[in-house]
Amino acid sequence: MLIRIDPASTAALFEQVAASVRRALAAGDLAPGQQLPPAREVATSLDINVHTVLRAYGVLRDEGLIELRRRRGAVVTGAADTRARLNTLAGELADEARRVGVDLDELTEIVKEKFA
């Protein structure tokens, strides 16, 4: 799995790490049950704090994409690929709404209409 960060970016480092994992899930590079690399190894390789990676893994756990297990570390959940795809699409939708000047309430209404 490829994890990349840009220290010059305005996005927080933990968000960039989490985004890399989401991208890998959406692309099908990670399968359910597969382990993510140990946080310490990722942190050392990227020259960032291990807590930054752990925070990214925490975000992904809250999104239901991974489970954090005591001995096996971070493991991809069964529903991760679907949720990751939804997350990616939602991100693109939010970006497009901002670009064309649609605010959150209006966007929520559009989504509600489509969902109904």
Partner 1 sequence: MRTARLTLATAGIPFVVLAVAYVLRTAWAGRLPDTIVSHWGTGGPDRGTALTSMTAWTLGLGAAAAVVATVTALVMRHRGAFVPRTAIGFAAWLATLPAGVLIASMWATLDVASWQQARSAWGAVTLAIGLSVAAGALATLLTGPTPRAAIPEPRDLPSAGLAPGERAVWIGAGTNYPMAFAGIGVIGLFLVLQLSLDDLDVMPHALILIVAVLALAATCRVRARVDATGVTLTLGLFRFPHRTLTFDEIASAHVEQMSVWSAGGYGLRRGFGYTAFKVRAGEALAVTLTSGHVVKATVDDAERAAGLVNDLVAAERP
Q: Is 37 helix (H, G, I), strand (E, B) or coil?
A: coil
Q: Looking at beta carbons only, is 3 or 59 nearer to partner 1? A: 3
Q: Is 57 helix (H, G, I), strand (E, B) or coil?
A: helix
Is 4 a residue that touches partner 1 (CB under 8 A)?
Answer: yes
Instruction: Tell me the window of 44-52, 55-63, 64-72, 103-111 that interacts with partner 1 (CB under 8 A).
Output: 44-52
Instruction: Tell me the window of 43-51, 66-74, 79-87, 99-107 that interacts with partner 1 (CB under 8 A).
Output: 43-51
Dist. CA 37–CA 45, nearest whole Å: 11
Find, among 25, 15, 40, 115, the residue nearest to 78 by Cα. Answer: 25
- From 18, 21, 39, 42, residue interacting with partner 1 (rule: CB under 8 A): 42
Dist. CA 79–CA 57, nearest whole Å: 16
Dist. CA 8–CA 10, nearest whole Å: 7
Instruction: Tell me the window of 36-44, 58-66, 79-87, 97-105 that interacts with partner 1 (CB under 8 A).
Output: 36-44
Interface positions with partner 1 (CB under 8 A): 1-8, 29, 37, 41-42, 45-47
